[in-house]
Amino acid sequence: MAAQNQRQLEQKYPKVTAYAVRPNILLTAQYASDGQVCEMVLEPRRWTEEKIVLVSALSEDETIPLIEEVVPENERGKRVKTPLGLLSEVAGSSITTTHTYEKITIDFVGSTRNDGSHDMVVGYMVAIVKWRNRRCR
């Protein structure tokens, strides 16, 4: 029995394309029926040819400017200020923090843990960018 080749894998599984937008960050996208991006997911790259990174997280401070680079202002709109500032939902040990723009939302999703001093430590595993006016196929 031969090892699986590309054609065999593509017949059995959906093909996913990822973009290395930074050496340590991958971006995958879904598209609307008109070919426009409707959702993007950014996540830390978990492996390179040199090493495997078992625990890594996204930094909001580094990821927001990257998203603003990938999604120009005319595509995302201006940032929307809310009376309460950033909105975060915590359920058990998971957390979602939402950044709102006129045309998109960015949800940082991750987990929390107590660092022993009663302070919550947050590790975001993905950032999900969704367009408000586009439906994915």
Structural domain of 75 = 17-131
Mean pLDDT of 73-92: 86
Q: Which of 36, 37, 1, 19 is nearest to 28 (CA)?
A: 19
What domain count does the chain have?
1
Percent of the chain with pLDDT over 90: 49
Residue position matching structure tokens 């070919």:
35
Q: What is the pLDDT confidence band of residue 128, given thresholds at 50, 70 and 90?
A: very high
Q: Which tokens in the block code for residue 45?
A: 């790259």
Name the amino acid, one letter, at 98.
T
- In a domain? residue 12: no
- What was the pLDDT predicted at 64? 94
Mean pLDDT of 67-88: 89
- Rounded to two decimals, the pTM is 0.83
- In a domain? residue 4: no
Percent of the chain with pLDDT over 70: 89
Name the amino acid, one letter, at 59.
S
- In a domain? residue 11: no
- In a domain? residue 5: no
- In a domain? residue 2: no
- In a domain? residue 8: no
